[in-house]
Amino acid sequence: MLKRGLFSKIFILLISLSLTIGVLILTVTIRQRTRDLEKALVQENKLLAETISTTVETTRLAYILPFTTLKKIAETENIAFLWIVKPNGEIFYADNPKMFGKIIEDPSLGTEEVVVKDSVYPKDGEKIKLIVSPIKIEIGKKPWSLYMGVSLKAVTEAQKGIISTGLVFLP
């Protein structure tokens, strides 16, 4: 009887220890995978922002802007919003017509290099990455800026998938 009670306690301890280790491994995996996915998403969209900025710069020299291209880019799944902002903070172009002409105040306005920072999309409170890329339209003055909000929904969905898969293997 004493052996049986001791065996039960050891068995329960081993099961508890296994579950704890499993949860820790799952947590570390989720954090690492989330970080990697977010980094890849930001890198991809940072490159896209730089490409858009260059396109706007070169087409602006011909006194045209690629509005159709900007609209198509803004409609993609990962883009929460896309604005072209004058040095004074006035939104010159926006994927949402209600934003045209609004004034924004941001320390990254007129930046000379690409800035990536955490932000919240005011429309629905979603956590996003904000990418601000300079657009060198007028020489000698502060550059215009491309503001691109990048949705992290894809990262959240991947995170949920990892959790679901991990929970299947825990028991």
Sorting pLDDT into bands at 50, 70 and 90, what band is 136?
confident
Average pLDDT of the chain?
A: 82
The answer for 65, left when phi > 0, alpha when psi is -120 to 50, beta otherwise, is beta
Tell me, what's the pLDDT at 169? 65
> For 18-26, which contacts have Cβ atoms below 8 Å and span 24 or more sequence positions?
19/170, 22/166, 22/169, 22/170, 23/170, 26/162, 26/163, 26/166, 26/167, 26/170
The whole-number average pLDDT for the span 26-44 is 85
Q: Which domains does the chain have, with CATH numbers?
A: 33-153 (3.30.450.20)
CA distance 95 to 93: 7
**Which strands sit side by side in the sheet containing 144-151, from one edge to the other?**
91-94, 79-85, 144-151, 126-135, 115-121
pLDDT in tens, 71-101: 777 777 788 899 999 989 999 988 888 988 9
SS3 161: helix
pTM over 0.85: no
